[in-house]
Amino acid sequence: MNFDPNLKFDFEVKRSTRRKTLCLQIRDGHVQVMVPARTPERQITALVNKHTDWIEKKLAEQAARPKAPSRSYVNGEIYFFLGQEHELEIVDGAPWPAKIVRGKLVVTIQKRLSDLERQAKVKQRLHELYQQAALEEFQTRTEYYGRRLFVRASDIRVKSYKRRWGSCSNNGELSYNWRLVIAPAAVLDYVAAHEVSHLVEHNHSLEFWRIVEELMPSYREQKVWLKLNGGTLAI
């Protein structure tokens, strides 16, 4: 981590023998400078100083975005599923998959477990429920948008991505971040439309965005929602 007393932020320098250009990146409140392996320190410092105002603006924007709530995994906590609030209800009994019953997230846990063990089990059951639900939701949406474009994914998966919402591989496999099932349904529609469009256009060209808009005219609203609220999608 680099420290400059004249700056209001620290930054990390990542050198790579494969990189040809200098690049600034801000993620989760951290400033990274990606540079070719032999870039002089004075050139890195000059780049950061030149873009100080932009960096501070982006850091302030990220700091102002909503954060994921801390969890205790106890009765009464509120969780979102497809954008709707659900109260957590923990029931003593034989282990059973979590399920949604009359607007509640019901998790059945063995009574003899310690508090820490119960919390871990509740978290595990919720993850299993959300991941399975995400797969089903994205299978439905991917097939729907695929039919509209006369394309078909070779496979559909959900993953625990840290920094992306979806991806399209060269062989047509579509993968989605399972945490998206926490978001409103329209956000899932947008991400599915986005990834299915990559089966036609493997880039982010004007033609690609034209296809996305054809599939979902309101995609810009969902894209903004995801940018502003993506950090809250956690259980």
Q: Where are the beta strands (DSSP E) in the chain?
A: 11-16, 23-27, 30-36, 78-81, 84-92, 96-101, 104-109, 155-159, 166-168, 173-177
User: What percent of the chain stands above pLDDT 90?
Assistant: 73
Q: What is the pLDDT of residue 1?
A: 60
| Phi then psi dihedrals of residue 146, to 5 deg | -60, -40
Q: Which secondary structure element, helix H or strand E, spans residue 124, and what is its range?
A: helix 115-149
CATH topology of domain 78-232: Zincin-like (3.30.2010)
Q: What is the pLDDT of residue 7?
A: 80
**pTM exceeding the 0.85 threshold for the entire prediction:** no
Residue 2, pLDDT > 80, answer no
Over residues 124-144, the pLDDT tens digits come to: 999 999 999 999 999 999 999
What does pLDDT average to over the chain? 92
Q: What is the pLDDT of residue 78?
A: 95
Q: Where are the domains of the chain?
A: 11-64, 78-232
Across-strand partners of 31? Answer: 11, 26
